[in-house]
């Protein structure tokens, strides 16, 4: 049996919990330590997930040489500093989305990671979601001909943690937070060799203007070098639970993915009967519970992929190169939102 | 990190492949050896699934004392003889559904397993399918009140291997093959404490009379001690892919599960574009591909459960006690099919 | 332009309202008079639907010779006496389902109507619902080969008027009330030339035993002379709105109809926002509103058909012959429920 | 009974057939004459739809004073000349979408119609489709709060008649042909009092460049005075049948309409088994037949509305004022497509 991959989980919040759920079904790994800023949270997280050690001392944790993989599950503003430290120490690392708040930060992370000559993985769930992977396979098999138009939508009624509303800490509003997924999905479906060349965006703060300076609704249009397009719909004001859909229209067919409402279970319950789905907004009456979110959203598959890459010494299919590209596209999107014109992009 | 559970996979056919797919996402285990009657198949299976050893000598394999769990993935007629040998050797074992061909065979297996004082697990996928588990949780949370009526349906266009058509080897036709799943789902939803007391069945060979003496369509009605019922629909003559649905109607609500058509992806493709779903019958035009069958059908969850039970020394939630009960209900069903009356059942 | 068909609507309750909704979209007819036992109700009904006249005097209404069609939309116990009077007066008539409370009553109605030599139509909505008609056309085109098994389900949380709970007035419980639809759907899909030869039924009062002596849940199995079957599921204890589904499984394919949940609109609303669907049980959160029930359930199509038959002097495709057959099958079902055996049926 | 409304149907093509299907279920009207350029077609159309008279002489037909309503079901370039003649003769008229090829043409039609002081109705099916009307009622009931974002999509694999591909005759490509529906839906959901103030469009000819100079794919973004938006997706290159969907996202909920795939019937057929849906592209395997298109798309409801308006002497809820507004928005869209900027619009 091959060596067990030993993991350090950095962060103890929402996404860290999802990573643990994903890892629970990945063979050949062990999360050996958790880092959290706050001692109590670290302790609680370790207890919940049965992690032997926890710490609040990041510097020391990075120094250790018995850790095969560090997973950055921290707020956006912490990605760059922590990542650069890991690179300098020559550690394998995976960072959650978005890679950084700006192309400049993302560029620094990428440069340091490349120089470290270690593994760097960009944890973009969307392109690991089983439904999305199946869609890509269908495209590769020629089922829908040439991809012409991708629609990618990600919406919910607003983020769960305070830092998301502070655009200084985060880098932007709903577009920054959610378009990462859509952009990467669009690149995955159109093919990465087919570069995004120009973007057009609209965004506005239609509901949450008291809570944030960021836009709470945004539309981002991507033009690819093939002539095809993608449009991304992002919202922090939509009720009824996380809405995460893609449509891929090709010259010979179309594919539709809908992981939160195309579920294998639907029910009418007269009283609340347990968790339904991320940000559900209602838990009785008619609902479509999602049985295993960590699996369906792609957390399990991305974690499995990164663990196997570490073990087998191969490059992940999503790296900081991709995270950097996404930050460049987002940046062009914000320029377009301001100028009301199409903006060229290069990454 | 706890000890890795070492597994022997007995069989190299259809269900054995699904078990391997399921195990691929189970942490802390390793399939170390495969048994197959045929040397070539054993070799090929081991190569496909990266299993270090393979053998055609079952007796020797059972003698080994470095195997933590034997999984019986063989045709129905082989379950009893192999299981009894494993019990006599004092081995942990899991057997696929149905436990046996008759209550007598199942009774012998149960008795031997109990006497061995080792783990015996009944691998009934249906009650491990994430959607079905979620349904049960919803029931337990009181969401639908008292369970009154369960509908459980399992159909496809006919089995893939010759032995299924030979009722001597298998124990019966479509009811024997498919009602296992439905009966166990019904018990799971109604609660195992709520015994099945009487059954009524209809069955007939409407299409495949040249291929089998078994019924290719069957309806089985189960009356529970609570007064509630379940009805099970089984067919080997339905086109369009595996159809696997449950409806649970309670006094305060209803739950519907549909794992093969309630999928997160739907597509229109102009030409075949890869695997769609088990026994799909068509692979172009409009289809609903099922991204990860081994996960959705419950193979991953049951394998994880049995591995954890072996590791932690706890009794599985499905054992030969349940498999025996299912065989008793099936037997009463066949009596009813012949007598055209309700038949009492006890297990 | 052909002569306008002049209609008398007998009854001012639930189904009469649906008939008026259906007729609103039928060309070449006019409802000229409404009969109701109660003067106030008659007046109100006439006002609501813009009907020029109303009366409480049925005898006189039947005497009139300027009425082309009388529609019986009264409780079950009133069908036979009113129908026989109409026949004796030589009037064209349409009666709602079930034709009567017993085969004897139905037989009397049929005999009188045949002797009158006038039009008699059996208003069974189900076989006029556009989705059901489309299913039948698909069968006729050979799309699913030979029909083997029909599932027909009709359920809701209990009837809206007192008379339904009184089995003396109505003829039975949920089976009597709802299986009419299912039996006729099954005959429509299997083909009327393919007779029902034997039936098996289960029924019980699982929830409403304080309100009724009738069963509130029932399962009815029909065996056809072809060897194929149908099973009908009826319930007065299911929440979440009217559930009205058919599945037709043939040797070469399957058809599924679902008029109340397969709707073109789904919504998440934070507060009640108007009518959703018949017996909805909830009107906020996630719902599937049904935009035009009278059309979708078949009321418009059956009314159009009967109006055209009157105008063109042709026999309707559903007559008292069919209504009588349904009463015979229901009767055999109640015998089976009591005897717990299959019961032969002839009509 | 009120007077029957006598109708002249101008045109004998695709949409004229749908209007006849719609009218078949409208009470109190009669199509008394059909006009077609071609004698044979006129004759055949009249025979098919049981219309007593047909003619190829439009001028004479307009002169007649026994026609209550003229319906213009002709290609786009014929709308203006025919409409102006009708206005000059003082006739009630209804015109299909788009009202004209340019704002100038539409303006002339509007002016003449207003001066005629007769009824002018704009036959935009989308806002009469029962699902869309139900959505609007839900909005009015406050179910989704303030409307923020509308998505309206209309796509298929390309038009059925030659004139659509000739942008001189038609006024433009896929945007011109299909965005009429989407723009009017967006205005209906946002409320007509909430004006469209600015638009942004992208369009390109990705597949059919040999057949047309018009764009075959287009995205049109509408900004409303409320700050909310709508985006419209139009395509002539999507396979799998007519795709006609709306999403309305409000501050308190969302509504989704899908009339071609949210149908009450789904089936798996092994061989073609009759008509499925407009521009279906496949008629076997898994399909979702649409039982009554003329009803579901809104043809029946719009025809009923216009007939009732003529009879009762009231103004239709869609008039040439609306058709003119749509042409203005389309025109701004084409300007934006060329300039790659947001373009202000006024109507
Ligand atoms: N699908 C996905 O991949 C996905 C989903 C959600 C969030 N995310 C990403 O995960 C990251 C974290 O989001 P979350 O939702 O888990 O947030 P969260 O607020 O739930 O958790 C953040 C964690 O970081 C810790 N933390 C806060 N500030 C820190 C600092 N300066 N240094 C170190 N630790 C700090 C907090 O204590 C907490 O444990 C974000 O970058 C977000 O974009 C990704
Ligand atoms: N959902 C489920 O859990 C599920 C699904 C399918 C099959 N099954 C069960 O799995 C079992 C095997 O079915 P399958 O579909 O994999 O069949 P299969 O024919 O695909 O494979 C059977 C395997 O057993 C071997 N074999 C045949 N006869 C044998 C014998 N006498 N002794 C030892 N090995 C023998 C074959 O070589 C083959 O490897 C059956 O009991 C079936 O009911 C369960
Ligand atoms: N899909 C269908 O076709 C459908 C649906 C619902 C009901 N129905 C049938 O319609 C009939 C009426 O049911 P409903 O739901 O409209 O009931 P309801 O109680 O709403 O209305 C019954 C009407 O009959 C009148 N009435 C009562 N007793 C009468 C009597 N003895 N003589 C004359 N009039 C009398 C009442 O005043 C009332 O106007 C029943 O036979 C029922 O089975 C058919
Ligand atoms: N949902 C809708 O409301 C809808 C749907 C389809 C088409 N339409 C509209 O209907 C109109 C007609 O489209 P169609 O699909 O029926 O086209 P079509 O080609 O099927 O039919 C056009 C008809 O017009 C006649 N015609 C052609 N040129 C003419 C001319 N110069 N003068 C008079 N008659 C002429 C043809 O003989 C034919 O009868 C178009 O404006 C189109 O945009 C509306």
Domain hosting residue C87, numbered range = 5-125+299-317
pLDDT at res. A160: 86
Residue found by looking up tokens 């502070």 in the block: A166
Cα dihedral D56, D57, D61, D62 in deg (nearest 10): 120
| Rounded Cα distance, A111 and A90, in Å | 13
Give CA separation, B52 vs B41, C65, D96, D335, in Å: 14, 92, 72, 67
Residue A300 sits at the chain B interface (C-beta within 8 Å): yes
Ranges under pLDDT 70 in chain C = 1
Q: In this structure, are D219 and D307 located in the same domain?
A: no
| Rounded Cα distance, A226 and A142, in Å | 17
CB pairs < 8 Å spanning A and B: 164
Q: In this structure, are C104 and C142 located in the same domain?
A: no
* Residues of D with Cβ-Cβ distance to B279 under 8 angstroms: none
pLDDT at res. A273: 86
Closest alpha carbon within chain B to C248: B238
Query: What would the pLDDT profile of A194-239 be if each residue is shown by its tens digit?
Result: 999 999 999 999 999 999 999 999 999 999 999 999 999 999 999 9
Q: pLDDT digit of tens for each residue in chain D (347 aa)?
A: 678 999 999 999 999 999 999 999 999 999 999 999 999 999 999 999 999 999 999 999 999 999 999 999 999 999 999 999 999 999 999 999 999 999 999 999 999 999 999 999 999 999 999 999 999 999 999 999 999 999 999 999 999 889 999 999 999 999 999 999 999 999 999 999 999 999 999 999 999 999 999 999 999 999 999 999 999 999 999 999 999 999 999 999 999 999 999 999 999 999 998 898 888 889 999 999 999 999 999 999 999 999 999 999 999 999 999 999 999 999 999 999 999 999 999 99
| Token pair listed for B182 | 């439905």
Q: Is A323 part of a structural domain of the chain?
A: no
**pLDDT higher than threshold 90 for residue A73:** yes
Q: Whose CA is nearest to atom 24 of ligand 2?
A: B74
Position in ligand 2 atom list of the atom nearest CA B177: 43
Element (H, E) at C49: helix C39-49
| Helices C103-116/C76-88 angle, 10° precision | 20
**pLDDT higher than threshold 90 for residue B133:** yes
**pLDDT higher than threshold 90 for residue A2:** no
Q: In this structure, are B104 and B61 located in the same domain?
A: yes
Q: In this structure, are B212 and B338 located in the same domain?
A: yes
- What DSSP character marks residue C169? H
Nearest CA to B236 out of B194, B203, B201 is that of B203
Overall number of domains in chain D: 2
Q: In this structure, are A241 and A288 located in the same domain?
A: yes
Residue A242 Cα, gap to closest chain C Cα (Å)? 12
Residue C176 Cα, gap to closest chain A Cα (Å)? 26
DSSP lists the bridge partners of residue C256 as C247, D266
Closest alpha carbon within chain B to A267: B255
pLDDT at res. C263: 95
Which residue out of A5, A260, A267 would a mutagenesis test of the B interface target, given it has the greatest number of B Cβ atoms within 10 Å?
A267
Scanning chain B, the segments in alpha helix (DSSP H) are 14-23, 39-49, 58-63, 76-88, 103-116, 130-140, 167-170, 174-190, 293-296, 299-312, 320-339
pLDDT at res. D160: 86
* Residues of D with Cβ-Cβ distance to B270 under 8 angstroms: 239
**pLDDT higher than threshold 80 for residue B193:** yes
Q: Is B245 part of a structural domain of the chain?
A: yes
Scanning chain A, the segments in alpha helix (DSSP H) are 14-23, 39-49, 58-63, 76-88, 103-116, 130-140, 167-170, 174-190, 293-296, 299-312, 320-339
Query: What would the pLDDT profile of A102-152 be if each residue is shown by its tens digit?
Result: 999 999 999 999 999 999 999 999 999 999 999 999 999 999 999 999 999
Beta-carbon contacts of A60 under 8 Å, excluding residues fewer than 6 positions away, are none
| Token pair listed for C52 | 């020029």
- Averaged pLDDT score across all residues of chain A: 97
Nearest CA to A113 out of A128, A131, A95 is that of A95
- Report strand pairing: D69-72 vs D5-10: parallel
pLDDT at res. D274: 87
Beta-carbon contacts of C175 under 8 Å, excluding residues fewer than 6 positions away, are C201, C203, C215, C218, C220, C234, C330, C333, C334, C337
| Rounded Cα distance, C171 and C101, in Å | 4
Whether residues B239 and C221 touch (CB distance < 8 A) is answered with no
Residue found by looking up tokens 């639809």 in the block: C181
Q: In this structure, are A287 and A153 located in the same domain?
A: yes
Beta-carbon contacts of B140 under 8 Å, excluding residues fewer than 6 positions away, are none
Give CA separation, B321 vs B19, B81, B111, B331, C255, in Å: 22, 17, 9, 16, 39
Q: In this structure, are D184 and D333 located in the same domain?
A: yes
Tell me if B113 sits within 8 A of B87, measured CB to CB. Answer: yes
Q: How far apart are the first and last CA of chain B?
A: 41
Rounded to 5 degrees, φ, ψ at C296 are -65, -40
Beta-carbon contacts of A30 under 8 Å, excluding residues fewer than 6 positions away, are A4, A5, A6, A7, B1
Tell me if D219 sits within 8 A of D207, measured CB to CB. Answer: no
pLDDT at res. B222: 98
Give CA separation, D98 vs A243, C38, C95, D80, D178, in Å: 34, 52, 46, 11, 9
pLDDT at res. D3: 86
Tell me if C229 sits within 8 A of B239, measured CB to CB. Answer: no
Q: In this structure, are A308 and A208 located in the same domain?
A: no
Q: Is B322 part of a structural domain of the chain?
A: no
Beta-carbon contacts of D104 under 8 Å, excluding residues fewer than 6 positions away, are none
Cα-to-centroid distance, B80 and ligand 4 (Å)? 73
Beta-carbon contacts of C317 under 8 Å, excluding residues fewer than 6 positions away, are C305
Tell me if A184 sits within 8 A of A136, measured CB to CB. Answer: no
| Rounded Cα distance, C80 and D132, in Å | 43
Beta-carbon contacts of D313 under 8 Å, excluding residues fewer than 6 positions away, are none
What CATH number is given to the structural domain containing B73?
3.40.50.720
Tell me if B191 sits within 8 A of B223, measured CB to CB. Answer: no
CB pairs < 8 Å spanning B and D: 28
Q: In this structure, are A89 and A183 located in the same domain?
A: no
| Helices B103-116/B76-88 angle, 10° precision | 20
| Token pair listed for D121 | 């109705």
Please compute the mean of the pLDDT values over residues A95-100 and round it to a whole number: 98
Tell me if C237 sits within 8 A of D252, measured CB to CB. Answer: no
* Residues of A with Cβ-Cβ distance to D239 under 8 angstroms: 252-254
- Averaged pLDDT score across all residues of chain B: 97
Give the confidence band of B160 by pLDDT, cuts at 50, 70, 90: confident
Position in ligand 3 atom list of the atom nearest CA C58: 33
Nearest CA to A275 out of B146, C281, B190, B137 is that of B137
Q: Is A214 part of a structural domain of the chain?
A: yes
Q: Is A322 part of a structural domain of the chain?
A: no
Q: Is D322 part of a structural domain of the chain?
A: no
Q: Is C270 part of a structural domain of the chain?
A: yes
Q: In this structure, are D64 and D131 located in the same domain?
A: no
C-alpha D88: how far from its chain's center? 24
| Token pair listed for A171 | 């880098």
Cα-to-centroid distance, C273 and ligand 3 (Å)? 28
Residue A98 Cα, gap to closest chain D Cα (Å)? 25
Q: Is A315 exposed, middle or buried (0-12, 13-18, 19+ CB in 10 A)?
A: exposed
Whether residues C217 and B149 touch (CB distance < 8 A) is answered with yes
Residue B258 sits at the chain C interface (C-beta within 8 Å): no
Please compute the mean of the pLDDT values over residues A1-13 and round it to a whole number: 92
What CATH number is given to the structural domain containing A132?
3.30.360.10
**pLDDT higher than threshold 70 for residue A329:** yes
Query: What would the pLDDT profile of B36-76 be if each residue is shown by its tens digit?
Result: 999 999 999 999 999 999 999 999 999 999 999 999 999 99
Beta-carbon contacts of B157 under 8 Å, excluding residues fewer than 6 positions away, are B236, B237, B238, B239, B279, B281
Cα-to-centroid distance, A78 and ligand 1 (Å)? 9
Q: Is B323 part of a structural domain of the chain?
A: no
Nearest CA to A60 out of A40, A39, A35 is that of A35
Q: In this structure, are A145 and A89 located in the same domain?
A: no
Q: In this structure, are B132 and B277 located in the same domain?
A: yes
Residue D281 sits at the chain B interface (C-beta within 8 Å): yes
pLDDT at res. B1: 60
| Rounded Cα distance, C287 and C270, in Å | 11
């Amino acid at each position: 049996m091959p060596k067990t991959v030993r993991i350090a989980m950095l962060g103890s919040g929402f996404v860290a919990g999802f990573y643990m759920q994903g890892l629970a079904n990945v063979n050949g790994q062990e999360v050996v330590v958790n880092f959290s800023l706050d001692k109590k949270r670290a302790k609680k997280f370790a207890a919940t997930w049965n992690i032997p050690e926890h710490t609040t001392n990041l510097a020391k944790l990075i120094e250790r040489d018995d850790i095969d993989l560090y997973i950055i599950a921290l707020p956006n503003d912490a990605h760059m500093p922590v990542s650069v430290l890991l690179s300098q120490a020559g550690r394998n690392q995976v960072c959650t989305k978005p890679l950084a708040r700006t192309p400049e930060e993302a560029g620094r992370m990428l440069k340091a990671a490349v120089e470290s000559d270690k593994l760097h993985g960009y944890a973009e769930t969307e392109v690991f979601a089983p439904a999305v992977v199946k869609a890509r396979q269908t495209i590769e098999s020629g089922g829908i001909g040439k991809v012409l138009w991708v629609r990618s939508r990600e919406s919910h009624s607003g983020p769960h943690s305070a830092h998301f509303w502070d655009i200084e800490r985060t880098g932007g509003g709903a577009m920054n937070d959610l378009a990462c997924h859509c952009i990467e999905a669009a690149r995955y479906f159109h093919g990465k060799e087919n570069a995004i060349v120009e973007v057009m965006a609209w965004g506005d703060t239609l509901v949450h203007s008291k809570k944030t300076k960021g836009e709470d609704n945004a539309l981002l249009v991507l033009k690819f070098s093939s002539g095809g397009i993608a449009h991304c719909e992002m919202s922090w004001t939509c009720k009824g639970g996380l809405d995460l859909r893609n449509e891929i229209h090709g010259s010979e067919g179309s594919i539709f993915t809908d992981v939160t409402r195309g579920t294998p279970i639907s029910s009418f319950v007269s009283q609340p009967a347990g968790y339904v789905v991320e940000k559900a907004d209602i838990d009785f009456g008619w609902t479509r519970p999602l049985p295993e979110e960590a699996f369906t959203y792609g957390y399990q598959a991305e974690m499995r992929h990164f663990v196997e890459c570490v073990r087998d010494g191969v490059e992940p299919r999503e790296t900081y190169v991709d995270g950097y590209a996404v930050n460049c596209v987002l940046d062009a999107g914000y320029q377009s939102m301001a100028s009301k014109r199409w903006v060229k992009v290069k990454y």
